[in-house]
Amino acid sequence: MKDLSLHILDILQNSVMAGATSIKLQIDEIPSDDKYMVKFTDDGKGMDAEMVQHVTDPFFTTRATRKVGLGLPLLKQNAERTGGSMTIHSQPGKGTNVDVEFSYKHIDRLPSGDIPGTLALTASSYPEIDFKYTHNTPQGSFIFDTAEIKDSLGDLAINNPMVIAFMKDLIRDNLKEIKAS
């Protein structure tokens, strides 16, 4: 995958397929510690310890439509390429946490890509799921919470094209304000 937003989309899709009703994404940029951390948390069906051990194997997948699952293995590889790491914690019936750490300054750290577009598209595609995105930098923090947005919309649907454009602009403008990389 050529950028972080594609990895984010893949992990969010995994959470959706796992039946999550609440999905959290947090990005912490800490250049002073040479850390760029991405954390995913969902309340989906979770995985047992054996499955957690296998999900980073590119030839392991739970899907019947294909024989490989490359999302998590590629994300782990991209993190490790920068000297970082990926850990997965999961329990059946309780959800899954995926924590990924990249070296902030490493030349091989993937570019962010279109995170605003990815999040707006995902939120509008699954209006029944609550998505919460937090992004922290030394210049500030931004929180995007679809539960709050849905509450303020009244009769307007979150997948209305005007709302999608609004969400995308909201995320993009706030990421610029906190100088997200």
Which residues form the domain of 15? Answer: 4-177
Band (pLDDT 50/70/90 cuts) for residue 77 is very high
Band (pLDDT 50/70/90 cuts) for residue 35 is very high
Range of weakest confidence among 43-57, 99-113, 118-132: 43-57
pLDDT higher than threshold 60 for residue 69: no
Its pTM stands at 0.92
CB 147 within 8 A of CB 21: no
Band (pLDDT 50/70/90 cuts) for residue 123 is very high
Provide the domain count of the chain: 1
State the CATH number of the domain containing residue 24: 3.30.565.10
Closest CA to 12 of 36, 37, 39: 39
Q: What is the pLDDT of residue 54?
A: 81
Sequence-ordered list of residues with C-beta below 8 angstroms from that of 167, at least 6 positions apart, any chain: 116, 119, 120, 123, 124, 144, 149, 158
